[in-house]
A and B are shown apart, each in its own frame.
Chain A
Amino acid sequence: AQRVTQPEKLLSVFKGAPVELKCNYSYSGSPELFWYVQYSRQRLQLLLRHISRESIKGFTADLNKGETSFHLKKPFAQEEDSAMYYCALSESNYQLIWGAGTKLIIKP
């Protein structure tokens, strides 16, 4: 079955330290993967999509089909990165399969 797993419910790192939010997926087809971010009391917003291969707010994510992973990385965390992060996989029927989310806390 299609599934997205974010193994960490909570991740806490110090400002300036590297950040890696893990996302693993299981999908029989060719996956389209996304990272969404939700800052405190705000709406979810799209952060990255793997087809764009872009860097947003210093974050990057590489699709590793061999390891079925799409981890989100940033070399130097900033306090404003504190938020809830969701990994999602798009099915061919336009629906998204969501991970349970990881709460990222950046300590000063």
Chain B
Amino acid sequence: DAEITQSPRHKITETGRQVTLACHQTWNHNNMFWYRQDLGHGLRLIHYSYGVQDTNKGEVSDGYSVSRSNTEDLPLTLESAASSQTSVYFCASSESVGPGYGYTFGSGTRLTVV
């Protein structure tokens, strides 16, 4: 069955370190998204991609980067982790045929920056 997987599930890192969160989907979706989920803020878009070699900034992109070298993967990199980036991160993908199909989400990565 097609799926979208995130790794690791949990990560503790130190301030200033570079961290990469993985997202891999086998739905063959062109669109992929990274969100962070924080209490009181709901879901906030970090970066997104509409296809290979395409990446775009979301509303909270500072301190994060992504790359899209193939259809399946959209890794999220925290260049220099900060305590404000402690959060739960969700990856999602969607069809390109129309907006009515909704998103499929990964199970999330809980990141703690100490």
Contacts and interface: CB of A to CB of B under 8 A. Distances in A.
A64 to B, nearest CB: 18
Interface string B21-65: 000000000010100000011110100101000000000000000
Given A42-B107, A98-B43, A100-B40, A91 B90 contact: no
Nearest to A52: B100
Interface in A71-97: 86, 90-92, 94-96
Contacts, number: 48
B42 A32 contact: no
A17 interface: no
Main SS class of interface, B: strand
A86 B43 contact: yes
A51 B100 CA distance: 7
Interface string B70-110: 00000000000000000000101010100110111111100
A101 B42 contact: yes
A100 B42 CA distance: 4
Interface of A: 9, 32, 34, 36, 42-46, 49, 51, 86, 90-92, 94-96, 98-101
Closest 9 CB pairs of A and B: A90-B99, A100-B42, A44-B105, A43-B107, A46-B102, A43-B105, A98-B43, A101-B42, A32-B100
